[in-house]
Structure 1
Amino acid sequence: MPDDPAPAVTEIAEDIADLQAQVRALTARLDQLTRADDPDRTSAESPEEERGGAEGAEGDSGEPEWASPPFIFILDPPAYDDELCALAEWVEGVLVPGYLSEPSADARWCHLWTEHPVAVARLHALWLAWQELTDPASCGYTGPSTWHRDHYDPCMRELRLSGGPFNGCTKGEHSVMHRQPGLVPSAWKISTT
């Protein structure tokens, strides 16, 4: 007797729902970018409103909409400090207790990770992806799986391997000998003029 097709149909339906959520998110993002490029266009002309409104529109939340993700190395103080503080809350409140096992020679971790610019950059990128991919409204129900596979696993591999940014750090001890320069090259800064 052939396999029951019901599980395959269910999986296809979930994939379609995920794709629809991704299309909605991309459409909203495209509209946001289009509005940013065209100062004469008003929010009343957005495609969502022409279709009768979008479910869960970001503008309804009262939170500011970013033109692009606020990658930490392009921020100046005090915005950098605020972003680093928010990142530290996520790393210390979610990532470390939920995911990181005891450090070892094969899986290093530095309790002073904020003093390693490479770690800050990678963890910030991981956090940005986590924020997006754990929201079913924007990415469907497969977002967390995608986050683990495409973001968490490669990031942790790079950070925790013996040649990574925590190379000189051991359990409870931090090595400053291998630290990268603390200044961000001016070429990384985005001009605000």
Structure 2
Amino acid sequence: MAEGLIELKSSGGVDIGSEQSIQYFLDRFYLNRISIRMLQYQHLVAFGSVLPESPNHVGCIDPVCDVTSVVQDAYENARFLCDRYYLNAPQLELDCLNALSPGKKLSVVIVPSHLYHIMFELFKNAMRATVEHIGMDEDLPPIKVRVVRGNEDLSIKLSDKGGGVPRSIISRLFDYMYSTAPHPSKRWKSSTSCWLWVWIALV
């Protein structure tokens, strides 16, 4: 999908109307895909022979998901990619506050894979911005994450030193046709370097 959007944008044949139609279509496509896949998996686990990822899971839902563990897992995987590409990566400073049950492990009812994918993409963007803004050979400032469990919700704040986002492009941040990442070179399209293309294209 990412490669197709890059080629479409490079062709120069996309007007504002077409771009809005693509945005609307892909929003619905991904929302429906996530919803249907979750319902299918939930049904197969509940009534079929598919085993849940953990005995504590109710289908794909973890009633006591360890948020800290998911965040750290997402960070480590994003850090691996960043380190392989830039030969450097920011460290993580993780701060957790359980205001609902002070002194206890921070947990919440959630689909762990959804939280993981969100945090992985955020870490990936933050790492790329930090490395390119500060410099590959410099001591990089850490990425700071604060997780707070309140009475009604869970909040996760991620802060980096990547230079920020210009106000002029804030409205385009969630556009599928917009990206600040460089176009992948043809030499990276070999199967041995596929992971690197994914890292660049999906940022």
Structure showing the higher helix proportion among its residues: 1
Q: Taking structure 2 as the reference length, what is the TM-score of the superposition? A: 0.29
Q: Taking structure 1 as the reference length, what is the TM-score of the superposition? A: 0.31
Larger relative contact order (CA 8 Å, sep ≥ 6): 1
Structure showing the higher strand proportion among its residues: 2
